[in-house]
Amino acid sequence: MKAIGFKKSFDLKETNEFEELDLPIPEPSRREILVNVKAASINPVDTKLRTTNEGEFKVLGYDAVGVVEAVGDEVELFHVGDEVYYSGSNMRQGSNAEYQLVDERLVGIKPEHLSYAETAALPLTALTAFEALIEGLSISTNPEDNKDKKLLIINGAGGVGSIATQIAKNLGLTVITTASRKETRRWSEEMGADIVLNHKHHLLDELKAHKINEVDYIFNTHSSDAYFNVMAEMIKPRGRIVALVNFMDKVNLNLLKDKSVTFSFEFMFTRPKYETDDMQAHHEYLRKLTYLLDRGTIKTTLHTKLKGLSVESVTEAHRLIEEGKTIGKIVIEY
């Protein structure tokens, strides 16, 4: 099978170590399924992992859609011929290949009314959003409970922010996002944001301009360092904050004590990395997502589509991600 990967870490601004190899098609065992990959999305995690590999040939790609070609002897959820989608595990070879092995507990049935490319845009970011909103922020799944509650999503036009906005609206929340450029503000509004704040200005001042002094929840999908202090200002007493990005410097967590604020990180790969007892939660979240997509309640966050599995298309997707100006998701259709 054709696969695009690399053997040693590299900075794309200095060199390009991506290469194409012909690898054996893997065989599934136990609860694994073998998927013939039809499209894959590129995420910021791909660009980060590209800088941390040494030694063996590494295939990236942590969003995929395809057709089940074979199943292990303990598989219960899927059959050969099923169209499926998933984000898989960062501990395995990725989806920038014609075939991929994935644990069935991390997989969902592809939405019926979406194309391969539209579907590939969704798994990783949607799983991240579901975990952050429902588990990290403890937001009720009953919309009636969330009436008048406000959620701030920092970086609303990004891949995670785009799908989190839609999921949060479906949960009955008032959704406030951040964006600055005309096109990102418009995109965030199209995703369902009630209010879009300009992150180039002081966010608390931006919020107060809308006659709002505090929010119940904050989901920060951008820099934890840059926004920590202002999040402490904006969060409601006994509120909750979830962040995606590591702190690079020391921060003063004591800023959260007076308000009894709960702070946590979200990392979508925790369950597959540690093979937790509840790993099948990914399957359940994707089943819920498929239902919402097929009803038209939520729409794809696909923005940029590249054609063909090649060194050139993978390189271009990484380059666009690292520019830091992407809107929604980038997908490579194979």
Three-class SS string for 266-317?
CCCCHHHHHCCCCCCHHHHHHHHHHHHHHHCCCCCCEEEEEECCCHHHHHHH
CA nearest neighbour of 33 among 66, 88, 74, 72? 72
Task: Write down the pTM of the prediction.
Answer: 0.97
How much is the average pLDDT of 232-248?
97
Domain with CATH 3.90.180.10 in the chain: 2-122+270-333
Predicted pLDDT of residue 113: 95
Domain with CATH 3.40.50.720 in the chain: 126-265
Predicted pLDDT of residue 42: 97
Render pLDDT for 20-30 as a digit per residue (tens, 0 to 9): 999 999 999 99
- Looking at the structure, give the CATH architecture of the domain made up of residues 126-265: 3-Layer(aba) Sandwich (3.40)
Distance from C-alpha of 91 to C-alpha of 279, rounded to nearest angstrom: 14
Render pLDDT for 92-118 as a digit per residue (tens, 0 to 9): 999 999 999 999 999 999 999 999 999
Q: H or E stretch including 235? A: strand 235-243
Kindly state the percentage of the chain with pLDDT values over 90: 98
Predicted pLDDT of residue 55: 78
β-pairing verdict for 54-59 and 83-86: unpaired
pLDDT band at 52 (very low <50, low <70, confident <90, very high): confident
Three-class SS string for 22-75?
ECCCCCCCCCEEEEEEEEEEECHHHHHHCCCCEEEEEECCCCEEEEEEEECCCC
Predicted pLDDT of residue 175: 98
Distance of CA 253 to the CA centre of its chain: 26
Kindly state the percentage of the chain with pLDDT values over 70: 100
Predicted pLDDT of residue 111: 98
Render pLDDT for 78-89 as a digit per residue (tens, 0 to 9): 999 999 999 999
Render pLDDT for 125-178 as a digit per residue (tens, 0 to 9): 999 999 999 999 999 999 999 999 999 999 999 999 999 999 999 999 999 999
Predicted pLDDT of residue 54: 76
Predicted pLDDT of residue 293: 98
List of residues 6+ apart from 135 with CB closer than 8 A:
none
DSSP state of 195: E
| Buried/exposed 144-179: b ≥16 CB within 10 Å, e otherwise | eebeebbbbbbbbbbbbbbbbbbbbbbbbbbbbbbb
Q: Could you tell me the two tokens for 36?
A: 């013939």
CATH of domain 2-122+270-333: 3.90.180.10
